[in-house]
Chain A
Amino acid sequence: MKSPEVVVLGAGGFLGLNTVRAFLDAGLKPRCGRRPRGNVLGLRGLGAPLVVTDFTQPETLREAFRGADVVVHAAAHYPRFSTEPQETIARGLAELEAVLDAAVASKVPRLVFVSSTATVAPRDAAPSNEGDLFAVCPEWGTYHALKWNLEHRLRDEGRLEVVVACPAACLGPFDWKVGTSALLVATARGVPPPHPRGYITTVDARDVGQALVLLATSSAPPERLILANEAFDAHELLVMLAARYGAPPPPRALEAEAARVLADEQEHEAQKTGGRAALARELVDLIVHSPRLDASRSRSLGLTYRPLSDTLDAWDSWALRMGLLQRPRPEKSA
């Protein structure tokens, strides 16, 4: 049987690179979509072809998608700061529309879209599953609002098959922009991060890559799939990380409102100075509004999740190479 032709958008990014590697491990050589000025350091030497996919130039998307069976979209827009909801949503939707139109024009039958557990609505009494999507857009933060808008748009798409993956907080190698792993970097550097009271559900980015391969190649994938491993109290997770890196313990968890205030102020300052917020608003909203997740559907499809200690080991060795970790941690204990 002919192997499917796959395009991975955002191939040079955190999830993209883990996804490309998962495809290669599965014996498939995806086309690696990259933005014109995107970082492709991690793609060099993998042997997968690079194609320029510029969301403002639809012809580059159509060209990249030509003859493809699946587009895996791991390049959905999210800015560095959560300060401009209206602009963020508008750009996110416009880029998604460009991808959808190009996929339809190039007769691609399936799109696998990487969304987020931010779109999973909480339940009172039980963990949330794939059937739980916010009925209307959450109004508490830009990240949730954007992700909801993108998924909502995809639910109306009738021109091609759409499969949505909802990964939890991703950790693992190749987190170039230091997203969730900002918690690790700060802790390991002895600057324990401020954080709100709430929960973090983690998932290894390599496991997400494997899940995306499954969703891209399965003959009958589910429409929506939660990808989540272990749930931690945010503070307890940071205590554990501090012990792992021989770092001082984290400060007390902040109440939600105090954390929002701090994050907003830090982003406000960082925008002015060009620096980085020690606490991102996106992270606050994710921790505060984290639902309990039921990922049994993904396990029933044969997906497995690495324990957090494996994930951290892999991240450590990558981060040391990248200079994100300044010294080897004293002992492995997590």
Chain B
Amino acid sequence: MHHRSTDQDGNPPEAWLRGPDCPTGAASSLWDELRSGDTSAPWLIFHVGAVRTSFSRGEIAERALGWAAAFQAAVPAGVKRVGVLLPNSPEFVGAFFAAQALGAVAVPLPWPVVDGAPERLIEALRPVLQRAKLDVLATTPGCATIDWGAPTVTAPLAPLSVPNPALAAAFMQFTSGSTGDPRGAVISQRAALGSSRAMASALQLGPADVGVSWLPFFHDMGLVGVLLTSLVARFPVHVLRPGDFLMRPRKWLDLVSSERATLTVGPNFAWELLVRRVNPEGLDLSSLRCALNGSEPIHRTTLDGFIAKFAAAGFKPNAMLCVYGLAEATLGVAFSVPEAPRPDLEIEGRAVPANGGVLPGIELCVADADGQVKREGEEGELCVRGPTVMDHYFEHADATAATMRGDWLRTGDLGVVKNGTVYVTGREKELVIQSGRKFHPYDIERVVAGMVETTPNGVAAVSRPDAAQGSEGLVVVVELRRVSGAIDPMLIKGELLKVLGVRADVIEFVPAGTMPRTTSGKVKRKAVAAGLLAAPANKVAS
């Protein structure tokens, strides 16, 4: 990263922030952290219907040793990487920490929102499984019947004696659900603990806090933001499954209310769903001091809508906290905190909510494409470095080289720094984010191109803001080789759901020669998106 030369003209300072040192602790691995101190207090409380089942750290450790024994039995030569394909459950947590106990790398894999029949969706995970080179997969009996190319384990055995693992990477986080070019961010023990401790420190979390979460554990926000942060800060978390929330959004707030939760987390769409669906009557949200909104673009209308609607339930406005992070930085980069509310930034008539200051251990700057650091107030790519940044993408040197500039992580997100505050203004990287789930456009385009006779590189998957849903809509533009080649859009929508689990909002067919392209023939997705916003395309059908 290149500093600007000394400026004598009174220009704003460089857009460069440095957080305090990353907090440290006695434990140097997640496995040690799990077992340190008094491990008998309730940690994770799983809610299934009216039944609640509580587990202490000690009980999770015991369960993990059972899984570890089963992994060793399945792979006597030694386990290096463990896939965890399970819903939010004690089994997920047990298998995740079993990998830690063995000094292996856990690879959390996406589980469908609604339980019951995951086989079809996870078929699409095969490229991820191949890239991850799993030695063993922990999953459910139903999924174990599928040939994964690696042994599957569906239940723990009698516990192992406590092993003393060599320190390895803690886990590998694949940055989108399924992809033709999977990227597994390798997160070290230091990064996993550091990121969790930094978030806990910024929010001043401790044993007096109570968490509630429906976020999937395989997602960075659920895994690091909830599971590991509560582990290091020693507070209990009440756990729902994503489907419970999506089908009955009120369950989330009911649990916050009944358990007197102080912390909960969700992407913007989830808060928007609460605004639209839930009546505040009968709820008491006065205990919440940290209601984190992150993982996808944040809308001011959602924040205001939630604050206004749930004031009647005792919700405190400064509890709504906008946060920014990404899997390649383990999770947290910049966090708002309740004690220091920060103003929005007006950009082109749009209010961009503040994402707060950088977390401990994080150094952030705004840079241009050449690595030249911008000035405060100027928009550019957010770049991050520090002990919580990933080591690399697993066995993907090209992607690592494209993402890391020295020890700086190029986030692909656009932003502005002003008065010590980070504002995320947009996205340089081409990614579709739907309900907090991330999809690479080329995966979507690959599926569609296999169904329709298109021109070469004739499919563009782009997202567009969907204020009504508080999330992003997906538009797929298909350039037809022949005008008569359009097919039923429902077939395409169904295939995308089946293969990738992504919902397309609009399938639009355009005639040959109308797709914006670079001189080398690649689709210019940004131009496609801009065209969609500006005017209806020259449609064949939609």
| Residues of A participating in the B interface, judged by any CB pair closer than 8 Å | 82-87, 89-90, 93, 121-125, 134-137, 139-142, 145, 148-149, 152-153, 156, 257, 260-261, 264-265, 268
Contact B49 A135, beta carbon cutoff 8 Å = no
Say if the beta carbon of B115 comes within 8 Å of chain A.
Answer: yes
Least distance between B515 CB and chain A CB atoms (Å): 23
Say if the beta carbon of B112 comes within 8 Å of chain A.
Answer: yes
**Interface mask (B473-509 → A, CB under 8 Å = 1, otherwise 0):** 0000000000000001110001101100100000000
Complex CA gap A134/B490 in Å reads 11
Say if the beta carbon of B168 comes within 8 Å of chain A.
Answer: no
Q: Number of B residues contacting the other chain (C-beta, 8 Å)?
A: 33
**Interfacial chain B residues near A156, Cβ < 8 Å:** 119
Beyond A83-B248, A145-B116, list 20 extra A-B contacts (CB 8 Å). Answer: A83-B251, A85-B244, A89-B115, A90-B48, A90-B116, A121-B494, A123-B488, A124-B489, A125-B488, A134-B494, A134-B497, A136-B120, A136-B498, A136-B501, A139-B114, A140-B247, A142-B247, A149-B117, A261-B276, A264-B250
Q: Which chain B residue shows the least CB distance to A123?
A: B490
Complex CA gap A140/B11 in Å reads 52
**Interfacial chain A residues near B117, Cβ < 8 Å:** 137, 148-149, 152-153
Q: Which chain B residue shows the least CB distance to A85?
A: B247
**Interface mask (B212-250 → A, CB under 8 Å = 1, otherwise 0):** 000000000000000000000000000001011011101
The 3 closest A-B pairs by CB, nearest first: A135-B498, A87-B49, A149-B116
Contact B279 A85, beta carbon cutoff 8 Å = no
**Interfacial chain B residues near A85, Cβ < 8 Å:** 114, 243-244, 247-248
**Interfacial chain B residues near A86, Cβ < 8 Å:** 48-49, 115, 241, 243-244
Q: Which chain B residue shows the least CB distance to A83?
A: B248
Complex CA gap A212/B489 in Å reads 34
- 14 example contacts (A-B, Cβ-Cβ < 8 A) are as follows A84-B50, A86-B115, A89-B114, A89-B116, A121-B494, A124-B488, A124-B490, A135-B495, A136-B120, A136-B497, A136-B498, A139-B113, A142-B248, A145-B243
Least distance between A281 CB and chain B CB atoms (Å): 8
Choose from B113, B116, B497 the contact partner of A152 (Cβ within 8 Å): B116
**Interfacial chain B residues near A123, Cβ < 8 Å:** 488, 490
Say if the beta carbon of B529 comes within 8 Å of chain A.
Answer: no
Choose from B114, B276, B489, B501 the contact partner of A257 (Cβ within 8 Å): B276
Say if the beta carbon of B539 comes within 8 Å of chain A.
Answer: no
Q: Which chain B residue shows the least CB distance to A92?
A: B116
Say if the beta carbon of B526 comes within 8 Å of chain A.
Answer: no
Q: Which chain A residue shows the least CB distance to B489?
A: A124
Say if the beta carbon of B126 comes within 8 Å of chain A.
Answer: no
Complex CA gap A51/B489 in Å reads 49
Complex CA gap A83/B247 in Å reads 8
Complex CA gap A265/B279 in Å reads 8
Least distance between B451 CB and chain A CB atoms (Å): 13
Least distance between A120 CB and chain B CB atoms (Å): 12
Complex CA gap A83/B244 in Å reads 8
Contact B116 A264, beta carbon cutoff 8 Å = no
Contact B490 A264, beta carbon cutoff 8 Å = no
Least distance between B71 CB and chain A CB atoms (Å): 26
Complex CA gap A89/B118 in Å reads 13
Contact A82 B49, beta carbon cutoff 8 Å = no
**Interfacial chain B residues near A125, Cβ < 8 Å:** 488, 490
Contact B277 A260, beta carbon cutoff 8 Å = yes
Say if the beta carbon of B452 comes within 8 Å of chain A.
Answer: no
Least distance between B489 CB and chain A CB atoms (Å): 6
Say if the beta carbon of B121 comes within 8 Å of chain A.
Answer: yes
Instruction: Using A89-B115, A124-B490 as known contacts, say yes or no to A139 and B247 having CB atoms under 8 A apart.
Output: yes
Instruction: Using A136-B121, A137-B117 as known contacts, say yes or no to A145 and B112 having CB atoms under 8 A apart.
Output: no
Which B residues between 105 and 148 are near A, CB-CB below 8 angstroms? 112-117, 119-121
Contact B114 A122, beta carbon cutoff 8 Å = no
Q: Which chain B residue shows the least CB distance to A143?
A: B247
Complex CA gap A89/B115 in Å reads 8
**Interfacial chain A residues near B50, Cβ < 8 Å:** 84
Least distance between A140 CB and chain B CB atoms (Å): 7
Instruction: Using A123-B488, A136-B112, A257-B276 as known contacts, say yes or no to A84 and B494 having CB atoms under 8 A apart.
Output: no
Which B residues between 334 and 364 are near A, CB-CB below 8 angstroms? none
Contact A257 B495, beta carbon cutoff 8 Å = no
**Interfacial chain B residues near A141, Cβ < 8 Å:** 247
Q: Which chain A residue shows the least CB distance to B242?
A: A139
Least distance between B213 CB and chain A CB atoms (Å): 15
Q: Which chain A residue shows the least CB distance to B503?
A: A139
Q: Which chain A residue shows the least CB distance to B114?
A: A137
Contact B114 A264, beta carbon cutoff 8 Å = no
**Interfacial chain B residues near A148, Cβ < 8 Å:** 117
Q: Which chain B residue shows the least CB distance to A140?
A: B247
Q: Which chain A residue shows the least CB distance to B273?
A: A257
Choose from A82, A137, A268 the contact partner of B116 (Cβ within 8 Å): A137
**Interfacial chain B residues near A89, Cβ < 8 Å:** 114-116
Complex CA gap A89/B114 in Å reads 9
Least distance between A334 CB and chain B CB atoms (Å): 34
Complex CA gap A272/B472 in Å reads 36
**A82, A124, A152: residue with the most chain B Cβ atoms closer than 10 Å:** A124
Contact A264 B277, beta carbon cutoff 8 Å = yes
Complex CA gap A289/B495 in Å reads 19
Contact A268 B497, beta carbon cutoff 8 Å = no
Least distance between A185 CB and chain B CB atoms (Å): 26
